[in-house]
Amino acid sequence: KTIGLQISTGLQDLSLRDRGGRRRDYHDLGVNTRQAMVHVQESKTGLSGRMIKLSTNHFRLTSRPQWALFQYHVGYSPEMESRRLRSALLFQHEEQIGKTHAFDGSILFLPKNLGNKVTELFSRTRSGEDVKITVTLTNELPPTSPTCLQFYNIIFRRLLKMLNLQQIGRNYYNPGDPVNIPNHRLVVWPGFSSSILQYEESIMLCADVSHKVLRGETVLDFMHSLHSQIGEERFRDACAKELVGLIVLTRYNNRTYRIDAVSWDNSPMGTFRKSDGSEISFMEYYKKQYNIDITDPKQPVLISQRKSRGIVQGTVVLMPELCSLTGLTDKMRSDFNTMKDLAIHTRLPPEQRQREVGRLLNYIQKDDNVQKELGNWGLSFDYKSVAFMGRVVQGEKIFQSGSMFDYNPQFADWTKETRGAPLIRAMPMDNWLLIYTRRSYDVANTLLQSLFKVTPSMGIRMNKPNMIEVDERTEAYLRVLQQRVNPDINIVVCILSSSRKDRYDSIKKYLCTDCPVPSQCVLARTLSKPQTIMTVATKIALQMNCKMGGELWSVEIPLKQVMIVGIDCYHDIVSGRQSVAGFVSSLNQTMTRWFSRCVVQSRGQELVDGIKACLQTALRNWFKWNKSLPSRIFVYRDGVGDGQLNTLVNYEVPQFLDCLKTIGTDYSPRLTVIVVKKRVGARFFAEAGGGLKNPPPGTVVDTVVTRPEWYDFFIVSHTVKHGCVTPTHYNVIYDASQLKPDHLQRLTYKLCHMYYNWSGVIRVPAPCQYAHKLAFLVGQSIHREPNLLLSDRLYYL
Amino acid sequence: MDKNFQDEEFARVVKFTPPLYKQRYQFVKDLVEKYKPKKVADLGCADCRLLRMLKFCSCIEVLAGLDICASVMKEKMHTLSPLPLDYLQPSERSLTVTLYHGSVAHKDPCMLGFDLVTCIELIEHLEESELKKFPEVVFGFMAPSIVVISTPNSEFNPLLPGVMLLRHPDHKFEWNQAQFQGWALEAATCYDYSVEFTGVGHPPAGMENIGFCTQIGVFMRKYPQNDESAQSEKPTEAVYKTVFKAVYPSLKDEKYLQNAVVNEVIFTAEIIRHRLLPKQEEEEEEEDLERKSKFQPTVDTFSDCLGKVVVDKTREPFVSGSEVYIPLATIFSFPKVNRLCGTFEKLCQLIAGKVTLSGDGSAVVFSTEHENEEN
């Protein structure tokens, strides 16, 4: 009976989905894109590179031979309404049905066949009514069917619960073994994320270590300390800014809620109508229901909206005093010390990470109840993680104005190698402004002198700037900008004495929209350390050069007539749910110049409409630069959430194709769309000298842990100093390029070398990172589309 | 089959608001509020619904459930586990919830020493042989201060549509008022309890003589608890099987108290340190001025109960070299720390070895370096 009820709640979702309703399917099951791509039908694996032995955090699921799940429809005559009653009546026949079952009121799953296609059972209600129950076999599900996979996941989650792990969100955590970080009032719970999926050759469990950051204080405590920090005036705004979008736990139930608003008009003294129609105050309610006394009757309340398929179903009112925050606020995330203290506990090196995962498997193996449960369903796991061979493709050569550099592939960084070498295209700084406050006068001069030292070797011609001292006020900065900036100015450099967001936003807004001139903001603090000033100045010089339209380095791109597109999204959860899509496309053969636009989504408008418009202008610009149209277009699409793949395949890709048709009647370029995903559960480990290490940059995985129904692969392109490297997942959902997998993988890896704000390889192709940067700047600071005059420069770096 | 569901069924016709099962639970809850028992056991706890309500009663420190059917208990037993917040902010009281698989016809020492034992809609499910042993087990052996027994009143049945004989197929009998009261009085007399009768589910106006839909007997033990003499003759062999046990984190547990105190001390010290250290270009003067002139602390909307940091002049924190010294006495004056520890000695004892202290142990020491390393 235990299993029955627990699982059926999960299965309810399942049957809903089967009936055609749209349910969140985080694993994008049932999206089969590979079948439409003939050239990867046989094989989607590449060949180049040297082989490397890898292990992973996947574990094979082994089930008894001929494992199948039997799906039955259960009908009642006369009709029974109550689900509980239906369930009770059915399980009067437990000896026939068996102890292991899952039932949601109409669909019954059993690990065994009842023998007949139709089984009739007779039960009696307590009121003496006789009921005929008809159990009809509707389906025999092979272990690989999506329903079965969903089913495995439900069972596995149950196992985690049996191991006394607490579910928060999608993952399970161990509250018995917390890590306290008292100076930030944080508590970290270690835990696991898990998913069971059909991979290339077998069904596997992917288990990863997850950490839940929790707070040792209530939302009310948090509000009090915020109040004492920033005072009354900005308090309400700050509360909304800090709290909206965060997830809270409550003192009285095991649910999580997302804060959508803080209501200052309501308080615990406010009332609501109960389902029986009576009116009760929140204070009375919590006292009566949970025996909880609310100590502060004047606190505001939190509003959380219950949503289903994006439609608001109702609102829940929460008391700050009874809620505790989970996760980090933006403020904490931007606090270097907080993140550093956290990283010590959450960034586990490969060896340790794999050991923690092993511990989970060990718990599963050792727990009798868990083993019994698994046994009832005829399931078991291979307790040793999967090992296989990956490939490390060769490193790229870095070209910079006439010279060529090799970098150490182990570090994936060429800062040292290219230091002092002339840039491909150095933009002169003949006419520029340097704005600073009285307090920053010294650092402004330090910066200037350092720039004079580092720019000549790069080939940047630099004049003395117009040095302008301003007051420590946002208006003062703006006034100077309005008076002194004109289109002839190459770049405006502002030295800011604090990381105040509103000031930064105002400057960026003015210089990106009203008066389109590249700008560089520098925090005075970053310039205050003599030992690092030259490094900082070098970076700033390079960054400014890119913002003005310069080019730093390139890699060899053998494909001709190609346009690369990167798309990423930024979702603003605080102010009005505005979404911004960044769109960046290449302009030249060497992929050193980019065209950048963004779409600010207005209410009720689909993001893809804007993206279409971007694609059209991108092609027009490509034509201007190359005097022809590209014959191949590769779109790297980032910012796709779990479960959104279907929409992308069935809606966005056709829109792209439509858009290309509108360019010209005889124009039919080959389009490729690749979904880029940074947040994946898979981890790879290189076996080295008996231990585990991060795989080297350039590691490509396109077997065993990829999905058979997709044309997908993983690339580890970057390196990390601490912890485990996360591979990036590339899913080619549409491909008319006819390129071999090898070539597409290489192209992707090459593009990871082209992000000019980092002289090394990054996690995603450069256009994705550019698109991300642009969307972030617009979403965070500018809130409308920047002036198109800037669109041929990387002004948002 | 459980009893809640059967009520939902007929409540559709004879409407009890709130539903009868809720009224029964509320009855128990009110009793708990009145007598403040520390140890409560629910016999025949089924899906643990009553226990789930009772765990919020702050007087209860031990909560036990017993049922003959293990699977029905297991179904929802995880809802009796501590919530994440119970770990994050451990409560003052201690609470242990245990579920046992066993029969009320058997004696098990784990049921000794309870203040309140509830048997809600239980006895009518017992076979004759079990019912016979029941009084000896509950009143004679467990012998709690209070026993609550509820059972259907068969006189009410004609008012319930669809009920032919019994309200539930598993019921072995349903008594009228005289039968129940006769049985109850006999048991009470035999084991030296007093009993009062009441119920929930009022009869319709004019039919008061048929009594409540659910009849309830509240039994009070007349003799004071006498542990030693009573215990000596009781068997000690355990026959129940523990199917679930949850120990709630509590500040009574030194481990959690220490944790809470250390966290609070470090956080408090961190706040003081922040105020002490020169602001490193974080906020500019202009802004502070703005704030001072405009900020009038209005406490209307939002009562400010944050412990205002009252720093005694004699124990002021200070900076020395690259270290900040924050006297423990200052930290002890913080309301939260104060409340947790009670005495200064306790504070010192709890943080010993967990927080870096000055040589003489009178102050918390922080390094000032930490702040801006590679920012």
Q: What is the ipTM of this complex?
A: 0.78
Note whether residue B304 is domain-resident.
Answer: no
Q: How many CB pairs under 8 A join A and B?
A: 148
pLDDT of residue B300: 37
Q: Which residues of A touch B166 (CB under 8 A)?
A: 126
Q: Which of A84, A180, A497 sits opposite B284 (nearest CB)?
A: A497
Helix (H) or strand (E) holding A146: helix A146-162
Note whether residue B280 is domain-resident.
Answer: no
Of A104, A572, A638, A652, the catalytic one is: A638
Structural contact between residues A151 and A70, judged by C-beta atoms closer than 8 angstroms: no
Q: Which of A225, A340, A498 sits opposite B283 (nearest CB)?
A: A498
**pLDDT tens digits, A148-180:** 888 888 888 888 888 888 888 788 999 888 888
pLDDT of residue A8: 33
Of A606, A609, A658, A722, the catalytic one is: A606
**What value does the mean pLDDT take over residues A11-31?**
49
Name the domain boundary from B210, B229, B248: B248
Q: What share of chain B is helix, strand, coil (3-state, %, to 5)?
A: 40, 20, 40
Q: Annotated catalytic, A606?
A: yes
| A407 vs B9, more confident | A407
Note whether residue B343 is domain-resident.
Answer: yes
Q: How far apart are CA A465 and CA A634, in angstroms?
A: 41
Q: How far apart are CA B153 and CA B179, in angstroms?
A: 9
- 3-class secondary-structure state, position A719: coil
Q: A767: closest CA among A569, A542, A596?
A: A596
Distance from CA of B293 to the nearest CA of A (A): 11
Q: How far apart are CA A407 and CA A757, in angstroms?
A: 17
- Token readout for B14 is 């004879």
Name the domain boundary from B209, B230, B248: B248
Note whether residue B302 is domain-resident.
Answer: no
Does A228 sit within 8 Å of B82, measured CB to CB? no
Q: At what angle do helices A350-366 and A368-377 cross, to 10 degrees?
A: 80
| Alpha carbons within 13 A on the beta-carbon side of B213 | 23
Does B298 sit within 8 Å of A227, measured CB to CB? no
pLDDT of residue A656: 93
Predicted structure pTM score: 0.82
Q: How far apart are CA B49 and CA A731, in angstroms?
A: 48
The CATH number for A215-333, chosen from 2.170.260.10, 2.40.280.10, 3.40.50.450, 3.80.30.20, is: 2.170.260.10
Note whether residue B101 is domain-resident.
Answer: yes
Q: How far apart are CA B215 and CA A211, in angstroms?
A: 52
Does B79 sit within 8 Å of A232, measured CB to CB? no
Does B164 sit within 8 Å of A128, measured CB to CB? yes
Q: Which residues of A touch B369 (CB under 8 A)?
A: none
Does B1 sit within 8 Å of A324, measured CB to CB? no
The total domain count for chain B is 2
Regarding whether B330 and B230 lie in a shared domain, the answer is no
Note whether residue B3 is domain-resident.
Answer: no
Q: Which residues of B touch A498 (CB under 8 A)?
A: 281-284
Check CB contact of B302 with chain A, cutoff 8 Å: yes
- Token readout for A371 is 């083993």
Regarding whether B136 and B168 lie in a shared domain, the answer is yes
Q: A553: closest CA among A408, A748, A696, A396?
A: A396
Which residue(s) pair with A312 in the sheet?
A307
pLDDT of residue A3: 31
**pLDDT tens digits, A700-753:** 999 999 999 999 999 999 999 889 999 999 999 999 998 999 999 999 999 999
Q: Which residues neighbour A171 within 8 Å (Cβ) at sequence distance 6 or greater?
A: A191, A192, A193, A194, A210, A212
Does A215 sit within 8 Å of B281, measured CB to CB? no
The letter for the amino acid at A176 is: G
Distance from CA of B248 to the nearest CA of A (A): 11
Average pLDDT of chain A, as a whole number: 88
Q: Which residues of B touch A216 (CB under 8 A)?
A: 88-89, 263
Question: CATH number, domain at B38?
Answer: 3.40.50.150
Distance from CA of B175 to the nearest CA of A (A): 17
Same fold, A69-141 and A561-680+732-790: no
Structural contact between residues A301 and A287, judged by C-beta atoms closer than 8 angstroms: no
Which residue range forms the structural domain that includes residue B326?
253-275+310-374
Q: Which of B83, B84, B281 sits opposite A497 (nearest CB)?
A: B281
The CATH number for A426-548, chosen from 3.40.50.170, 3.40.640.10, 3.40.50.2300, 3.40.50.300, is: 3.40.50.2300
What is the percent of chain A where pLDDT is above 90? 56
Regarding whether B148 and B82 lie in a shared domain, the answer is yes
Regarding whether B115 and B239 lie in a shared domain, the answer is yes
Check CB contact of B369 with chain A, cutoff 8 Å: no
The CATH number for A561-680+732-790, chosen from 1.10.150.300, 1.10.10.10, 3.30.2130.10, 3.30.420.10, is: 3.30.420.10
Alpha helices in chain B (DSSP H): 3-11, 20-35, 49-54, 70-76, 84-88, 128-135, 177-190, 227-232, 254-276, 285-294, 328-332, 335-341, 344-351
Distance from CA of A49 to the nearest CA of B (A): 37
> In B, residues 183-202, which contact A (CB 8 Å cutoff)?
none
Q: How far apart are CA A163 and CA A257, in angstroms?
A: 24
**What value does the mean pLDDT take over residues A99-121?**
85
pLDDT of residue B284: 40
- Token readout for A582 is 């960044």
| Alpha carbons within 13 A on the beta-carbon side of A1 | 22
Question: CATH number, domain at B348?
Answer: 1.10.10
Q: How far apart are CA B231 and CA B229, in angstroms?
A: 6
Q: Is A18's pLDDT higher than 50?
A: no
Alpha helices in A440-519 (DSSP H): 441-458, 474-484, 501-509
Q: Annotated catalytic, A568?
A: yes
**pLDDT tens digits, A509-535:** 999 999 999 999 999 988 988 899 999
pLDDT of residue B277: 67
- Token readout for A274 is 């109960």
Q: How far is CA A760 from CA A409, A550, A686, in A?
A: 10, 18, 21
> In B, residues 307-366, which contact A (CB 8 Å cutoff)?
none
Q: Would you kindly state where each structural domain of chain A is located, as residue ranges? A: 69-141, 215-333, 426-548, 561-680+732-790
Regarding whether B321 and B241 lie in a shared domain, the answer is no
| A386 vs A333, more confident | A386
**Mutation to test the B interface, candidates A7, A173, A183, A339, most B Cβ within 10 Å:** A183
Note whether residue B264 is domain-resident.
Answer: yes
Q: Could you please state the CATH topology (level 3) that the domain comprising A69-141 is classified under.
A: Alpha-Beta Plaits (3.30.70)
Q: Which residues neighbour A456 within 8 Å (Cβ) at sequence distance 6 or greater?
A: none
DSSP A364-416: HHH-HHHHHHHHHHTEEE-SS--EEEEEEPPPPPEEETTEEE---TTTTB-HH
Q: How far apart are CA A680 and CA A716, in angstroms?
A: 12
Check CB contact of B57 with chain A, cutoff 8 Å: yes
The letter for the amino acid at B132 is: K
Q: Annotated catalytic, A18?
A: no
Structural contact between residues A296 and A283, judged by C-beta atoms closer than 8 angstroms: no
Note whether residue B281 is domain-resident.
Answer: no
For chain B of 375 residues, list the mean pLDDT of each consecutive stretch of 10: 46 69 93 95 93 93 93 82 88 94 93 95 92 95 96 89 75 92 96 96 87 95 71 70 92 89 85 68 40 36 42 63 82 86 88 82 74 37
**pLDDT tens digits, A749-797:** 999 999 999 999 999 999 999 999 999 999 888 988 999 999 999 999 9
Which residue(s) pair with A52 in the sheet?
A390
Structural contact between residues A409 and A727, judged by C-beta atoms closer than 8 angstroms: no
